[in-house]
Structure 1
Amino acid sequence: MKLFCIPYAGGSAAIYNQWSSQLIGIAEIIPVELAGRGRRVHEPFYRSFEEVVEDVTSIIVQQLSGDPYAIFGHSLGAILAYETTHKLRSMGYKEPRAVFFSGRSAPHVPDKDEKIVHALPDEEFIQHLVELGGTPPQFFENTELKNLFLPIIRSDFRLSETYSFKERDDKFLCDTYIFYGKQDDNLSGDIKEWDQVCDSACNYFEFDGDHFFIHSHSQSVIEALIKGLNSG
């Protein structure tokens, strides 16, 4: 089985490379690289959420061979996974065997923080990123890294904050797994609102840790992934 992994805001596909060795014989990890970072660093940022969904969908379609596949997305990647799965269905492709939505409230639930983060001045934006976790304050003391990273993550926050949920009559029939951190202050509403966009009951996995539990508790995440991939 192929497991397509979509990164979070500011993340490169490389964040999933370490999973490959632990899923040998279970799934082939295929990290999805978004434009503007990693090996696609010289490509322009996306102009709209629809554009990034089109791009992610095309990347996945190019590697579908009729064999079972699954999709994993964390944070911004979770919403991209949700919209991409719908896009694949609308194009006539078979649904993934499983979809993993990680570190994100259900797509129809409004953000808890109404502040438009992507439009904040640099210093306030950096402070928000530090509070979010995942990026040590020392990182921003390196001017070269800061100048490279800030436009990427600001663009990704713009995509996330301008996302508009569209209610659909057709809901997912595939196995759906929701991963979330017990101490993640960024989640809005009841995490089980994900049930509202899936035909079958979602499978919920709570992890110790904050928004970036996929790194701080990676072994537990791998074990949950394996359980989900093997259940189909």
Structure 2
Amino acid sequence: MKLFCIPYAGSSASIYSQWSSELGGIAEIIPVELAGRGRRIYDPLYRSFEEAVEDVTSIIVQQLNENPYAIFGHSLGAILAYETIHQLKRMEYMEPDIAFFSARSAPQIIDKDKEIVHTFPDEEFKRHIMELGGTPPHFFENTELLELFLPIIRSDFRIAETYLFQERKSKLGCDVYILSGNQDETTSGDVREWDQVTNNACKYFEFDGDHFFIHSQSQSVIETIRKGFNSR
């Protein structure tokens, strides 16, 4: 079964590179590269959340066949994965057998008090990224890296923060696995409200760590994915 993996804000598909060896024999890992980074460094950044969904959908559609598949998304990648599945449904493609949504509140949750980070001045924006963790300290000391990647990170925050949830007549028809960090301060409300978006099973898995538990608890995350595939 193919597992399409969508990265978080500011990252490239390479964050999933080691999963191929870890999940060999169970899943074919297909990292989804977003525009403006990695091998797509020269592609223009997305102008809207909707444009990002259209792009991710087109990448996945090219590799779909009659076999079952799954989708994994972390943070921004989780909400992109959720909307991409609905886009695939509208296009009358089959849904994934299982969706893994990681480090993201349920899409219908609106936090009116949440800061709009993408509008912060550069220095304040950098401080916020540093406080989130997940980025090596030397990144912020390298002027060339900052000039290259800060606009990408800011653009990703912009499309994430301007996302508007739309109520739909139909829910997802796939099993849903929700992964969260017990010290993640970016999620709003009860993460367990994800069960409202699917008619199938919704299972929750909590890991020790902050927003980037996907790295600090990588083996446990991979084991959870393995369980999901083995349960099919």
Once residues 225 and 50 of structure 2 are traced to their aligned partners in structure 1, the CA distance between those partners, rounded to angstroms, is: 28
TM-score with structure 2 length normalisation?
0.98
1:229 Cα deviation from its structure 2 partner: 1.4
Segments of 5+ residues of structure 2 without an aligned counterpart are none
Show CA shifts across 1:96-137 (max 9, x none). 010000000000112375221001011100000011110133
Structure 1 gaps of 5+ residues are none
- Judged with a 3 Å threshold, the aligned counterparts in structure 2 of structure 1 residues 112 and 224 are, in CA distance, closer, same or farther, namely farther
| 1:1-232 to 2 correspondences below 5 Å | 1-111=1-111, 113-232=113-232
Q: Deviations over 1:27-69 (max 9, x none)?
A: 0000000000000000101111111100000000000111110
Calculate the TM-score normalised by the size of structure 1: 0.98
- In the TM superposition, residue 139 of structure 1 has moved relative to its aligned partner by 1.3
Q: Structure 2: which amino acid aligns with 1:81?
A: A
Partner letter of residue 130 of structure 1?
A: M
CA RMSD in angstroms, aligned pairs only: 0.9
Q: How many residues align?
A: 232
Quick one: percent identity of the two aligned structures? 72
SS of aligned partner of 1:89:
helix
Query: For the Cα contact (< 8 Å) 1:112–1:186, is it kept in 2?
Result: no
Distance 1:4 1:134 in 2: 22
